[in-house]
A and B are shown apart, each in its own frame.
Chain A
Amino acid sequence: MKKLLALGLLAVSLLVSGCPDTTSHSQGVYMLLDSSGTYKHEIRRAQAIINYLLGTLQPGDSLAVARIDSGSFSEKDIIAKMTFDKRPSVSNQQKRLFKKKVDDFVSTVKGSAYTDITGGVLQAVEYLDETGAGRKYILIFSDLKEELVKGHVRDIPMQLAGFEVVALNVTKLRSDNVDPREYFKRVEKWRARVEEGRGHWRIVNDLERLESILAD
């Protein structure tokens, strides 16, 4: 009887203290939206992906959406970021707010002259490291064609260990149709950069199967 009592007390104390777990089970997702002139029209599709993510992410997970413009290594480019509360009811309210921010952005978005994808990825790494998420995803919604402002240095090795980099909706440009090697070269360049940084690289072009975005 005493033993049972002790076990019961242990179980209760574990519940009360929450028994902090050293390994994080939360997910962190940072989505980069290409808002360059050539890709601006695809932004509505990105909105659907964000809505899917809002419906999928659990309480305690983090989500940030940032635009890719001329200089993306900046907090100013973050459209919305949130670590959802652990209580489902509060988390649902936060998701509604998040959705509103994204909707506002989509309705007022303006095209940028340049596309600084590297800056955006570096910003994503910084943000996701801060969240302490167990699984970290960087979603790049872009055609992967980087165009930098003269003088911007982006030829930097990236530290992507533990990151899953997923390129979404990598559209073929008009020039790619002329010479498909350009497309493959572009994709291969990004894959090499991510893997050099010890990250995992994936491409999801079929947006009908959104569940594959966060699949391991």
Chain B
Amino acid sequence: MSLPEILIIWPGSPELSLIMDIVIVILLLYLARGPAHKAIYSITMVIHNGLRLMSRSVTLAEKKLAERNKDVLLTAGAKAAERLIEREFYRVDAVVKRDMGGYPSLQRKLSEQITRIDEDYRESTEMPLPPPDWVRAVDTLAKLPSKGDSWVANILGEIHKTAVVQYKNAMEEYRKAVSVRHSLLEKMMPYWRRLAQTLEQVDKTIIGLHERSKVIDGRMNEYEEIRKKTEKAARMLTSSAMTQFSISALVLLIAIGGAVINFNLIALPMSEMVGGGSYIGNFKTSNIAALVIILVEVAMGLYLMEALRITHLFPIIGHMDDKMRHRMILVTFTILLILACVESALAFMRDRIAADMQALRQALAAAEAAQPVNSWIPTVGQMVMGFVLPFALTFVAIPLESFVHSSRTVLGVAVAAVLRLIAFALRLVGNVIRYAGVFLVNLYDLLIFPPLWLENLVRNREHQHTDIADVIVKEEVP
């Protein structure tokens, strides 16, 4: 180890030169102590303040973003709640129209049934007259003893006969009347049943409406929470958005899987139509054509769902008048049907080309062609898949809408989290730099500890002298 020439003070004695160099450096550092401390403090404070400022501005941005996220979330939530409440009202309306719409006729029916029952009841209460009282008197007379007088006995016998006949007639009439009354009461039975059924039906409807009203109450409470922009509502909606995001992403992945299968089904036969050797950029034209067909199918599915008002991605379609919308449904469905038929035909063609290629490969490998068993099964299977998949892809619109809507919230939350993290990191680095400045100052002082020690020593002595002088002055002063 040798010193550079510039540092050699005493030629021939590098150790002494090194000691002298160290002493000079320490001396210089001691002399520059004040400005050096200031420089270290100022540079670290500049960086610290800069980073703190940055952190504050990032925090502000995060807060603004969080507010914006909350606004977006609450607006979306309010819209969704409005839609749900509207739907509940539609249901109530349907129930009222269906069940209560026929209420006047129901009421008429009920009053008719009640009137009939009432009439029947009145009729049933009309009792036949009992045998007159004089019959009893005559009967008593007839039962008097004749006392051997045949004339009197004959008269009394006749009276008795007449009384018996009269009694029989009266009893017969009475029985008839009771039987009529019973039959009337029997007739009332179905009316009672019908009345009970009608009332039961009304009861069910009322209960259903009551339940609906409870649901509406719940929805209205949620809506009010959202309108009040409470934290509870925001948390609830965020959690709901996260769930929606995960589920829709999963369903979209499944749909992508379906699209990939669809793509493989039609890419090969497309090469028969557009040529297998032509390229657009680095991609085979046949592959791009197959992809375009699938994308067109997805687009048609989106329009169809929009026109059916199942999704609301394109408000312009939703706001069309019904006639136009029906036309759109017809057009998109027709295009989908045509594309499904085309895909089915392509799937058939694919099977033929694959079989031909297989035969060629077997010929090239000099192997005997194996006879496929039930070869129509894969053909039909592929054709059915080719026909069904375009319609299945139509339903991608539903998870896509959920994904788009929920991704706004999820992305917002994620970006806010990242900003929070950046703000924290900036603050942390700023503080680390600030304390690094303190550490550097201490390290600086550590390097020049000999002169500092001497300085402290001198200062202490000076203090002691000053203190003694103060004491003497105090003692001399009366």
Binding site for B on A (CB under 8 A): 1, 4, 8, 11, 14-15, 18-19, 21, 23, 25-26, 51-52, 54-55, 58-61, 84, 86-89, 91-92, 95-96, 99
Contacts and interface: CB of A to CB of B under 8 A. Distances in A.
Contact of A87 (B275, B280, B292): B275
Given A15-B289, A19-B285, A58 B360 contact: no
A86 B276 contact: yes
Interface in B270-317: 271-272, 274-282, 285, 288-289, 292, 296, 299, 316
Contacts of B296: 8
Contact of A89 (B274, B299, B353): B353
A91 B353 CA distance: 11
Nearest to B293: A15
Contacts of B356: 88-89, 92
A21 B268 CA distance: 20
Interface of B: 268, 271-272, 274-282, 285, 288-289, 292, 296, 299, 316, 352-353, 356-357, 360-361, 363-366
Given A21-B278, A55-B360, A55-B361, A88 B292 contact: no
B276 A60 contact: yes
Contact of B277 (A1, A4, A61): A61
Contacts of B279: 21, 23, 25
B285 A60 contact: no
Given A88-B268, A95-B360, A18 B278 contact: yes
B410 to A, nearest CB: 27
B365 A88 contact: no
30 contacts: A8-B296, A11-B292, A14-B280, A15-B274, A18-B275, A18-B278, A21-B279, A21-B281, A26-B277, A51-B365, A55-B364, A58-B276, A58-B277, A59-B271, A59-B275, A60-B276, A60-B277, A61-B277, A84-B277, A86-B271, A86-B276, A86-B277, A87-B276, A88-B276, A88-B356, A89-B353, A89-B356, A92-B357, A96-B360, A99-B364
B316 A1 contact: yes
B364 A54 contact: yes
Contacts of B278: 18, 21, 60, 86
A19 B280 contact: yes
Given A19-B285, A89-B353, A60 B275 contact: yes
A15 B363 CA distance: 35
Contacts of A23: 279
Nearest to B362: A55
Contacts of A54: 360, 364
A88 B281 CA distance: 21
A56 to B, nearest CB: 10
Contacts of B299: 4
Nearest to B357: A92
Contacts of A58: 276-277
Nearest to B361: A55
Contacts of A91: 276
Which A-B residue pairs are the 4 nearest by beta carbons?
Answer: A60-B277, A86-B275, A59-B276, A51-B364
A1 B328 CA distance: 13
Nearest to A52: B364
Contacts of B276: 58-60, 86-88, 91
Contacts of B366: 51
Contacts of A84: 277
Given A11-B292, A54-B364, A21 B277 contact: no
A84 to B, nearest CB: 8
Contacts of A99: 363-364
A60 B277 CA distance: 5
A96 B363 contact: yes
Nearest to A134: B279
B264 to A, nearest CB: 15
Contacts of B316: 1
A15 B279 CA distance: 11
Contacts of A21: 278-281
B62 to A, nearest CB: 35
Nearest to B271: A88
Given A55-B364, A59-B277, 14 more contacts: A21-B278, A51-B364, A55-B365, A86-B271, A86-B275, A87-B271, A87-B275, A88-B268, A88-B353, A88-B356, A89-B356, A91-B276, A95-B364, A99-B363
B360 A92 contact: yes
Contacts of A92: 356-357, 360
A102 B456 CA distance: 104
A89 B281 CA distance: 25
Contacts of B292: 11, 15
Contacts of B363: 96, 99
Given A86-B278, A89-B353, A18 B360 contact: no
A21 B278 CA distance: 8
Contacts of A88: 268, 271-272, 276, 353, 356-357
Contacts of A25: 277, 279, 282
A52 B285 CA distance: 26
Most chain A beta-carbon contacts within 10 A, residue among B277, B299, B353: B277
Given A60-B278, A89-B272, A18 B364 contact: no
Contacts of B272: 87-89
Contacts of B271: 59, 86-88
A17 to B, nearest CB: 10
Contacts of A96: 360, 363
A91 B275 CA distance: 11
